[in-house]
Every structure is written in structure tokens, then in C-alpha cells.
Structure 1
Amino acid sequence: MDKDGNKRQTVKGQKVNNITASAWISWHILPLAALGVLITAYLWSRSSGATSAVTATCLATPPNSQVKILSLDPFIAHITDFVSESERKYLIDIGKPLLSSSTTLDDSGNQASSSYRTSSSAFLPPTDPCVSRIVHRAADFQGYLSPSDINIQLTAYQPGQQYKHHYDWFSAPANSPTTPLPRNTISTFFAILHATCHACGTEFPFLNTTNRHRYDERWCYVIDCDKPVLTTRNVEGSALFWINLDAQGRGREDTLHSGLPANGGEKIGLNVWTDFEVNEVWDRGLFGGSLKPPA
């Protein structure tokens, strides 16, 4: 009897102790666990960008780019998927807070606002890993140039804004117009990050593309085949690449181009400029070694 009674008492005591322990866990451990779940959810949302100012993640996977030559002289190429979707979203996120009214160089060489260029723009930090990746991609595309010679600028066009016909190269001094500058913008990439406007591509008025689509209608996917001059379509992720200088290192007048007005929507693009020592252009043989002027 005593053994059975003691046994029953022990079991009853264990049950009481278990109930007490369960109550203690309910009052003390479970709230902590719930708090842990909330903290985990909060940290996850932070890492995924839900509560962060920069909501996009720049993935390291390079895009699968393809290149089509639009013009041999001047050299102009269209590059599909030059900037991946995640890169586009990330660059817009970091660039938008930096935007300010775009400027141009006036006759005295100073930055000034102009009715020629009504967009907003911002140079992106070269130390940012995503920006650096684009810089290296542009440098490698051009034959392993130095990334330090490349600048990246985000540019945004709101409805009606534009950049009228202009050059990306710098003019020689008026007293020596035929002498190449020691340093100039050898090339330009212009990539489309986002676009909702229509008939708002990049136009090259000196380049005739009237018959291009008659040879292959696939061109009409990247250029406006209704226009008599080269006018690109805004394909997100794609880029246009062109050479700004001639074989003597002087600016090419046939690279005149414009960012057409953003009709009925907006356009966000990426300027990638390579400013280069002209002597290094010749030393690298980019225009052919035999074309280097005699010392």
C-alpha cells in the first residue's frame, strides 16, 4: 500500500511539477521565443530591403550580353543585357537620392544649367561594389582599359525633359582647333535602366538607317525603323556604345546625338564615359599603330 501510495503520490507530484514547469515556460520562455521570432522577421525584412532605403539587391551574376554592330564608321554597337535586372534596380535605388539638375559646360568651361539639357543626373560612387562591377565590365569590353578612367552617371528624364543635340567629346581650344586635346572622352556607353516614355530614344542625325529594316526586320526591335536617322528604342538593360574620337584623337562631328524628349513617361539611363589620354590611345594601338603621328 505504502509503495503504491508513494508511487501514486510521486506521479501526482510529477504532474503538479510538470504543470508548474509548463506555466513557467508559458510565462517566461514563450514570450522570449516570440520576441526572437519578431527580431528574426525584422532582421530578414532589413536584409531583404523591406524597411531599408535601398530596397534592391545587386546580384553578382553577370548578364548574358550580345553585341550587334550598328555602324562601322563611326563605330556604334548595340549591346543587349549590358546591365542585369537586379543591377538596374539597385543603381536606380542608390542614384535617385543623389539626383540634381543636369548641367553642361559653358564657353568658359564651367558647369552651368542649360535649356539644352533639362534632365537630372548624379555621378555614382565608384567604391560601390555594384557600380565598380559595371565600371570593370565597360573597361573589359573596350580591351581591358583602366577602370580609373571610367565615370558612371545616372540620368533621369521626367515627362518632356530632354538633352538636345550635343557631343560627348571636349572641343579643342579656339586658337588651335585641329590640335587634339591631351585627354578626351574616347567612348560612351548609354544604358537604359527604366523607361515608360515613347519615341524617346537616342538620335544620331548624321547616320542614315532608312533601309536597315529591309535587310533584317530584327533591327526594328532595337532601333526605330520609322525614323530615317539612327534612333534607338529604349530596351531596358541594353546599351549603346560608340567611339567619340577619330584616328587623330579629335572629336568626331558625326557622333552628334540627342536624348529625345520623354513623351508620356519617364526614362532613367546610365552614362558610362571613358576619359583617356590620347597618347595612350595610340600607344595601345586602338586606332592602329601606323596612324600614330611622328614624334
Structure 2
Amino acid sequence: MILVTAAGGMTGLAVTAALRRRGLPVRALVRGRRAAADLAALGAEVVVGSLRDDDVTAAALRGCDAVYLIWPNFDADEFAGATRLARRACEAGVERLVYHSVLRPQLERMPHHWEKLRVEEFLDTLDVDHRVVQPCAYLDNLGGQLDAVRRTGRFTSPWGVEARLSYVDLRDVADAAAVVLTTDGLDGGTFELCGPQGLDADDVATTLARRLGRAVRAVDAPPGAAVDYAGRCLALMCDHYREFGFTGSPFVLEALLGRPACTLDDYLASLADRAG
């Protein structure tokens, strides 16, 4: 049995789906009942409750031999919470733990990256086979703008129009995660998961225009004033991307997948196919 934590988010749902496509038994730990129905429809066994509740995590871990550890985005308590859960997984007899980190966690300027680096460091102290995946920004976050772009002809970028990012398709991330979870001989490995294109906002707008059959222009749209920890993390992330971009190599991802990684065109085509 494989436990997927924070399974109700887009990453958890995608990883659960990838594992179920392989016929693997999955237990999904999720906070809300709405996502629980989606996970149950995938064939997962569902546990509803908080990652911070020891009784809930004990029940979720019971009988599991592997864990895919996702912690909610932009959480100031990620180090304390994720390390506690990892330790409890070891105590429960879990044999393999995969941690969902982020590309370049060593970037101290971004607190949510730094929290993940500290979790990675902690995993080295545990007596368990552990692996780490480090994805870049998701193409799927661009997909959330499609309806607005279709209406307005504007593609907005919170990190300006010149920064290049190696956007990765979440389906590729999930398929790679399944490989990392289920393949022997990867103990202690860290796997960067980046898409095959370094795209700036104008590149994205050009591709969207071709796909949508209308003019699209890229618009710089910095985030608003930060009012909480998550907002501060988002603002600092956008500042970093704006100044330096956020790119990496697709080599590791494509080696895990055994095929080319999806491009923005591939991703948009898949959305059209899913829409019928």
C-alpha cells in the first residue's frame, strides 16, 4: 500500500491517478470530503483528516510500505510538520519515502524553498530508503488562465514578460513520481523534473494565440501586497523569477519517463482532447 499525503491538491490527485493507472493500491490522506470523492473515484482508499493529527496519520500509515509525502504549499510549518510525519512513517515500518520538494530548494531568498531544503536535510538522518523529486513550475498553472485569455486576449504574468521558466506538465511529474516510488536502485536519489522549454511570457502568449485562433499579448501583472506568510512567499518567488528566471534541464525527467517531456503545445492539445 502506498500512502499519498495532501492528496486532495492538484499534485496529490495527479500522483494518485498515475499510481492507480499502474494498478497499485493507494491510500489517500485528504483534509476535505469534496476531494475525497474524486480520490475514491480513482480507486484510492481515502482517509479524511489533518496531516497534523497524530491519530489520523497513524491510521493512514498503518499497513503502508511506501509514502509519497506532499506538504501543502506555502505553509510556514512545513519543516516541523513534514519531518514529524516522516519520522512517524519510519516508526510505522514504512520501507520507502518519496518527498515532493521543489526545483532549487537551496534558494534561501524564498522561504518555502528553504523549508523544503531543511526537510531534505532531515531525511538523510532517517533509517529509511528515501528519494526526493524537485519539480519546476507547472504548465497546469498556466491552464487556469485559458478562459480569461480567450475572452480578453491578455496573458498575465506575475514575474514579468522576460523571465524564462522551464514549465513542466503535471502529468509528467506524476508519471515520474510513480517511477521513483516503484523502481528499485534509486535509494537516496534526488530528481529534478523540468520541462523541455525555457519560456517567457511572450512565448506563452504566441503559443496561446496560435491555439486559440486570436491575438494574445503578454501583460506584466505583479502580485498585490502580501498580507500573510503565503503572500510573502508568493511575492518573493515572483521577485526571484522576475530577476533570474527559473529554468532547468529536462534530462532527468525524460530519463525517468522513457520519452520526451511534454511541451506547452502538447499540454494545450491534451486540454482540448480532455474537453472533447
Q: Give the structure with the higher percent helix.
A: 2
Range of TM-score over shorter length: under 0.3
Task: Give the TM-score normalised by structure 1.
Answer: 0.21
Question: Which one has a bigger Cα radius of gyration?
Answer: 1
Higher relative contact order (CA 8 A, sep 6+): 1
Q: Give the structure with the higher percent strand.
A: 1
